[in-house]
Amino acid sequence: MVPEATEHPILKGVEREFVAGGSLYLNTPLPPSSTVLLLGSVTNEPSEPVAWTHSYKGARVFYTSLGHPKDFESPSFRRLLVNAIFWTLNRPAPQTLRAAEKKAK
C-alpha cells in the first residue's frame, strides 16, 4: 500500500500487504494525474504500481493488474474490487462483502 493513499476509500478494509498469485506487470510510467494505491514487488526487482486511479473526461477510473485466479481467494483483493466498483460509481461501499453480494443480486 502506498503510504500517501492509505485513507483512499478503495483501500478501506484492505490489508496493508497481501500476497498475489500472478506475475508482476511493468506498468510504468503512469500518467502524472494517476494516484497509485498499491505497489507490487518481486525479489531483486523495483516495485511496480499494481492498482491506481485516474480521471478521464470527468469519470473515475480504477485499474489493477492483479487478477490471477488465486488473487480472488484473498479477502483483501475481493474487498479492493468491491470498494473500487463503488468508488467509480461515486457511492459508498458496503461495510461487508456479504452486503455487496446481496446488492449484486
**Count of CB atoms situated within 10 Å of the CB of 63:** 16
The whole-model pTM stands at 0.86
Lowest mean pLDDT among 21-25, 33-37, 46-50, 75-79: 21-25
pLDDT at 100 over 80: no
2 located within any domain:
yes
Domain membership of residue 57 (yes or no) is yes
- 93 part of a folded domain: yes
Indicate the SS3 state at residue 99: helix
Determine the structural domain holding residue 66 and report its residue range.
1-12+35-40+47-98
In a domain? residue 24 = no
Q: Flag whether 29 is in a domain.
A: no
Q: Does a structural domain hold residue 17?
A: no
Phi-psi sector, 90: left (phi>0), alpha (psi -120 to 50), beta: left
| DSSP-assigned beta bridge partners for residue 61 | 54
Cα–Cα dist 64/27, whole Å = 10
Q: How far apart are CA 49 and CA 95, in angstroms?
A: 26
Query: How far is 62 from 50, CA to CA, in rounded Å?
Result: 11
| Residue 77 falls inside a structural domain | yes
Pull the grid cell for residue 39. 505497489
- 90 is a domain residue: yes
Helices 97-104, 75-88: crossing angle, 10 deg rounding: 50
State pLDDT tens for residues 3-23.
999 999 999 999 988 888 888
Q: Which residue has the higher pLDDT, 57 or 97?
A: 57
| Count of domains for the chain | 1
Cα separation of 79 and 93, whole Å? 9
